[in-house]
Amino acid sequence: MSHSANFAAIDLGAESGRVILGTVSDSKLELSDLHRFPNGPVRTLDELHWDVLRLWSEMKQGVGMASQQGSGLRGIGIIDTWGVDFGLFARGNALLGNPFHYRDARTNGILDKAFGIVSRKEIFDYTGIQFMQFNSIFQLLAMKLANSPLLDAAETFLMMPDLFNFWFTGRKCCEFTNATTTQAYDPRAGGWAKGLIERLGIPLRVFPEIVPAGTVLGPVCKVVREEIGIDQVPVIAPATHDTGSAVAAVPAVGQTPWVFLSSGTWSLMGMEVSAPIINEKSLGYNFTNEGGVSGTFRFLKNIMGLWLVQESRRTWQKAGQEYSYAQLTEMAAAARPCLAVINPDDASFLPPGDMPARIVEFCRKTGQAAPSSPGEVVRVCLESLALTYRQTLERIEACTGKRAEVIHVVGGGTQNKQLCQWTADATGRTVVAGPIEATAAGNVVVQAVATGVLPDLPAARRLIRQSFDLATYQPRDTARWDEAYGDFLKIRA
């Protein structure tokens, strides 16, 4: 490749969305933000929804800006975001209502209802996906049990990235990496889990074609081109699940086994494997087999992540206490170590609200000293995450039979140097942190491979490794963490 190529990548995070320009050349991948906009759920009475039409407007504006850069665009990657959420379309391409946000309360208690129809073991055997109440299949079941008229009228189910891809191109399909997060996909059969879907009483007719990451969906449709003033640029499905894009950007080289840790609002820790691991052990550990790029699967565990700190910070802001994330991390480093441990995945920590009060309550209920300052609260969160990563690493290795020598941390959590060091300390493994912009980088390189600008995924990962600053953390003071881990296991039990 002798010339650079530009790609637009749309990235939706838990707090904001961005349209990013990615420039791929022989020696470097460069990313630049062109348009940033808020992305938060909207509450209507007692429901929580996506602000879907405003996001659509922001995306079009950003893509129009990207098309004005340099020599134009070789592709548009729409979009990478979290999984599970979706929209339903009726006859005539009408969107049925505002798509629900996964933190909406409509799926509270749904797992017990689902297991009363199909057992937990059978659902896992169908799908290989870990159990979370907001998985798409359970959102659909909640609609079914509530006799939702929207489900009756629906003709097509589209995950949120696929919804926006449809509006850009007119093509209805589901991209593989995100489709697997529905818990309605059968990874061994390679298609929708028809038996499970039918047994739960969900209409099979709504599920569309599934396409792999890197599929060229078609050009931007005429009406959108005319509205935003762009040429006939191809729209390419990246790994539309944000962790799928982030793992595509892991700067790993060689054949040494490694584990990825996509660190942000959620922490997703796992290993890239060639086939799903669906057995009693992975079921017992509640691991998941999500689709990856280039025919791989992401065998991983979903962990609550920095949501604990983010929501604590919002609580303090409402009380008039303004702290930056850097200040909170400094305060945590200075706070008393090993004061208490929490289970980051406790259900009480999932909804928005007063997170510090919930953490204090958890500590009291489990007979521990409770944190009394912001620094202590954040230290409890970060230490508990590091210990959760250790337990998760041990279980990954038990299921795969491979020892990982390196943990590759990617995403926004790489900026938390204290958490990266404590992860190395708690696990006793080398931690390599970076790139920060993993989801955007993964989005761009999958587009570059799809258009022939890069030859394959290993070449893309080499390019990423030489394009971004990486930080390496070696384990220290592991004896203290071994003692803390014993306490952690008692609490988790």
Q: Which residue numbers are catalytic?
A: 242
**Cβ–Cβ < 8 Å for 383, 341:** yes
- Give Rg (Cα) of the chain: 22
8 forms beta bridges with 21, 76
DSSP string for 153-194: H--EEEEHHHHHHHHHHS---EEHHHHGGGT-EETTTTEE-H
Give the C-alpha separation, 23 to 101, whole Å. 33
Strand pairing category for 16-24 and 29-38: antiparallel
Residue 376's alpha-carbon distances to 31, 337, 366, 381, 458, in angstroms, are 36, 8, 17, 9, 42
Tell me phi and psi for residue 339, to 5 degrees. -65, -45
Give the C-alpha separation, 414 to 80, whole Å. 19
Q: What is the DSSP letter of 349?
A: G
Residue 136's alpha-carbon distances to 183, 208, 243, 255, in angstroms, are 7, 14, 17, 35
> Would you say the C-alpha torsion 92, 186, 389, 247 has a positive or negative sign?
negative
Give the C-alpha separation, 99 to 154, whole Å. 13
CB neighbour list of residue 31: distance below 8 Å, 6 or more residues apart: 9, 20, 21, 22, 23, 437, 440, 441, 444
Amino acid at 472: T
DSSP string for 89-107: EETTTEE-SPPBPTTSGGG
Can you state the percent helix, strand and coil of the chain, rounding each to 5? 45, 20, 35
- 3-state secondary structure (DSSP) of residue 211: strand
Give the C-alpha separation, 220 to 222, whole Å. 7
54: region left, alpha or beta (phi > 0 left; psi from -120 to 50 alpha) = alpha
Give the C-alpha separation, 50 to 35, whole Å. 19
Residue 134's alpha-carbon distances to 107, 311, 326, 351, 474, in angstroms, are 6, 19, 31, 12, 37
Give the C-alpha separation, 321 to 318, whole Å. 7
156 forms beta bridges with 89
Tell me phi and psi for residue 341, to 5 degrees. -130, 150
